[in-house]
Amino acid sequence: MSLKERALKAHNEIKHHLFQELLPFWSTHGVDKKYGGYLTYLDKNGNPTGETVKTMLCQARMIYTYSSAHRTGLGEGKFLEIAGQGVDFLVRHFLDKKYGGWYWTCEQDGTPRDRAKIMYGHSFAVYCLSEYAMASGDKEALRLAEESYSVIRTRAADIQHGGFGEFFEEDWSPKAPGVYGGDRKSLDVHMHLMEAFTNLYEASGYHGHKTDTQRVINLIFERMVHPEFGTGMAQFAFDWTPLRAILFKNVWGSDRDVDDAEGRPLNNTSFGHNVEFCWLLKHALEILGVDEEPYRERMRKMYDHCVRYGIDWKRGGVYCEGPNDGPARERNKEFWQQAETLVAMLDAYLLFGEEKYWDAYENVHRFVMDFVINHDVGEWYPLFDENNNRVWDYMGHAWKINYHTVRAAIQSEKRLAAILAGMGD
């Protein structure tokens, strides 16, 4: 097949998946009709498992997803409505009126369970509320996004070293060190803050939000990207000394291997985070109106590392992580790394015009279509081993919902359409 035929085929498959599978699934699943907000524990058939804890992260990400689908012109108002009731639930039950910021988890009916303040979730409060504000024109949502931004800066910014602390108790005192994360900073959270500040700036047009987005970008390149290899480093002490990455108790639960006392090797990088960072960075530069030229070669390093070491060219898909300068070590294939690699490799192809990026896209696209998507239902399975055997099979849980999958489908569809338009008739 010619490249154009291959692009056309991929575009059709993505459109089919988005419009016939993913969006229909999320039109009928996920909303908590009893208490409002979202119920995110769904088994392999998409049915509620009976677990009902609500995590702030998933509530916020669902709000983002439905709002962004509406902004893309989809759902004929239905997605906006689903987003709006999610905002109501979030504000009613997660907002801490005493200490500021957002609780971390609550019961189905909204009773707070874990009142901790986690920066990961706070970045998504800013992200989803500004997305909802742009989708709806709701000024109160924008005000709440700005208030969340202000709380992040007031309570979590490290005025000594720059950047942000990430794990706090209810009253914003730092959590214990180590696995509770009180003494660590991460690329993951700072990347999501870049993503959130970008969206907030798009919604507000306020110069301070632009400045902060640029400063987080600078910080990531100065402190969190390997000076030699150009790939992302995961975790740091408050003074930015790189640390072996460990798993945190409060964020990722069932979807990570917890037998991890020593942490991963220092020479380790995440393929999914690297390329997700690249496409979010390119988007941020567009929103900021900043020239991408000084960033092109820096992005290329991350893309090339993923193409060379991250893609499973034999069996398809992208591995989790590995050293900055050699083959992947952790070869499981997670749903979110597939999702982010789809968008990212299309961006790389659009940026550099080199076929190896298209090939990487197509490889992961094929893996997603043939293995990851549960076509009986419409959502994605969460995890596979390196031989493409399914490890877990649920459609949703405390930390996995539709943020990565729907966003990847929407963003890939747009990029494929642009690539096809560039090819002419």
Which residue has 């962004």 as its token pair? 68
- Identify which of residues 232 and 310 has a Cβ nearer to its own copies in the complex: 232
Q: Does 98 bind its own copies (CB under 8 A)?
A: no
Task: From 37-45, 158-166, 253-261, 271-279, give the range in contact with its own copies by CB under 8 A.
Answer: 158-166
- Identify which of residues 102 and 381 has a Cβ nearer to its own copies in the complex: 102
Please list every residue from 202 through 241 that binds its own copies, using CB under 8 A: 207-208, 211-212, 215-216, 218-219, 222
Do residues 269 and 305 make contact, with C-beta atoms less than 8 angstroms apart? yes
Which residue has 């290329």 as its token pair? 300
Q: Does 25 bind its own copies (CB under 8 A)?
A: no
Of 324, 322, 323, 316, which is closest to residue 341 (Cα–Cα)? 316
Helices 355-367 and 3-16 cross at an angle (nearest 10°) of 40
Please list every residue from 107 through 126 that binds its own copies, using CB under 8 A: none
Backbone phi, then psi, for 28, in 5-degree steps? Answer: -120, -10
- Identify which of residues 93 and 209 has a Cβ nearer to its own copies in the complex: 209
Do residues 170 and 116 make contact, with C-beta atoms less than 8 angstroms apart? yes
Backbone phi, then psi, for 113, in 5-degree steps? Answer: -110, -60
- The one among 49, 108, 138, 172 contacting its own copies by CB under 8 A: 172
21-44: burial string, b at 16+ Cβ within 10 Å, e else: bbbebbbebbbbeebbbbbbbbeb
223-254: burial string, b at 16+ Cβ within 10 Å, e else: bbbbeebbbbbbbbebebeebebbbbebbeee
Q: How far is the CB of 163 from its own copies (least distance, A)?
A: 7
Q: Does 96 bind its own copies (CB under 8 A)?
A: no
**Residue 236, beta-bridge partner list:** 185, 242
Please list every residue from 334 through 373 that binds its own copies, using CB under 8 A: none
Q: Does 95 bind its own copies (CB under 8 A)?
A: no
State both tokens at 159: 């005025």
- The one among 75, 110, 112, 162 contacting its own copies by CB under 8 A: 162
Residue 256: CA atoms inside 13 Å, Cβ hemisphere, count?
19
Task: From 7-15, 157-165, 305-313, 407-415, give the range in contact with its own copies by CB under 8 A.
Answer: 157-165
- The one among 45, 47, 154, 389 contacting its own copies by CB under 8 A: 154
Q: Does 254 bind its own copies (CB under 8 A)?
A: no
Q: How far is the CB of 170 from its own copies (least distance, A)?
A: 12
Q: Does 173 bind its own copies (CB under 8 A)?
A: yes
What percent of the chain is helix, strand and coil (3-state, nearest 5)? 55, 10, 35
Q: How far is the CB of 110 from its own copies (least distance, A)?
A: 27
Q: How far is the CB of 145 from its own copies (least distance, A)?
A: 13
Q: Does 294 bind its own copies (CB under 8 A)?
A: no
Q: Does 157 bind its own copies (CB under 8 A)?
A: yes
Q: Does 4 bind its own copies (CB under 8 A)?
A: no
Task: Give dist(CA 139, CA 76) in Å, integer.
Answer: 21
- Identify which of residues 61 and 115 has a Cβ nearer to its own copies in the complex: 115
Binding string, 130-149, against its own copies, x = CB under 8 A?
A: -------------------x
Output Rg (C-alpha) for the chain, integer angstroms.
Answer: 20
Sheet containing 54-55, strands listed edge to edge, beginning at the edge strand earlier in sequence: 54-55, 105-106, 112-114
- The one among 1, 159, 261, 421 contacting its own copies by CB under 8 A: 159
Positive or negative torsion for Cα 267, 273, 277, 279? positive
Q: How far is the CB of 173 from its own copies (least distance, A)?
A: 5
Tell me which residues touch its own copies (CB under 8 A).
Answer: 149-150, 153-155, 157-164, 171-174, 207-208, 211-212, 215-216, 218-219, 222
